Amino acid sequence: MSSRRFMINSGSVRNGFATLDGDLFNHIVRVLRLGTGEPLTLVDDSGREQEGIIDQIDRDWILIRITGTNDIPDAPAATPRITIAQAMPKGDKIDLVLQKCTELGADSFVIFGGMRSVARVSDKNRETKLARWSRIATEAARQSSRKFVPDVSWCASAAEVTGKTAETLRILLWEEETMLKLKNLLSSTPTPDSIMVAIGPEGGFDPSEVDIFKRNGFVPVTLGRNILRTETAAIAATAILTHQFL
């Protein structure tokens, strides 16, 4: 019988046992209603996969006895790391971006404050939001049987994003670009080690942001004649990139 998979922090495992609490405890015990003796597969933040059995359930924590470790094959060398730089959208659209792009294969996310972003992230609630976003990415990685959980970080502006950019291929999805299609850029570019795709909020990028991205090596492209919603653009771009380099 196949066991359920859960993403954990590597620090949770000590001396052959894993101690889980918080959201993981609630999900395993109160949602899935798993009991002692049932098998689990634990994948930590380094990609190590470990088999275990529920050994003990307490009031607010659960103890897993590790029974074996599986070797994780290295990712194909030709597969570039994909980072989605998403300007903060309205409502819960960022949840959809994180969930679906994780399922499709994005390796990391940089969420940033666009000049035309309606939704804002204050210094006061930034850590709370980052923790929530990381949980969404973690659950999506677990559901899709990924070996690693994408990293989720925050930048205050486009300038801060570009100041930290180290990706080999830098792509700007821009509704005013009509000539260069993403598929044509990819077909004419050698396989990069890493890719970052920058996507604007509902109102698109401010011209000054486009200048910032261009000055930092981002290539403006179009996904086609139709103007996509910001969350659709992120999902479509991720799907195209993973298909191209799978």
Question: What is the set of domains in the chain, with CATH numbers?
Answer: 4-70 (2.40.240.20), 81-245 (3.40.1280.10)
Which whole number is the average pLDDT over 174-186? 93
* Contact between 136 and 163 (Cβ < 8 Å): no
Looking at every residue in the chain, the average pLDDT score rounds to: 90
What pLDDT was estimated at residue 7?
Answer: 80
On the question of pLDDT at 76 being above 80, the answer is no
* Contact between 197 and 85 (Cβ < 8 Å): yes
Helical ranges in the chain per DSSP H: 22-25, 93-104, 126-143, 158-163, 182-187, 207-215, 230-245
Token pair in block for residue 208:
């000054």
Share of the chain above pLDDT 70, in %: 95
pLDDT band of residue 153 (cuts 50, 70, 90) is very high
Select, from the ranges 16-20, 39-43, 140-144, 166-170, the one with the highest average predicted confidence (pLDDT). Answer: 166-170
Stated pTM of the model: 0.78
On the question of pLDDT at 49 being above 60, the answer is yes
* Contact between 199 and 228 (Cβ < 8 Å): no
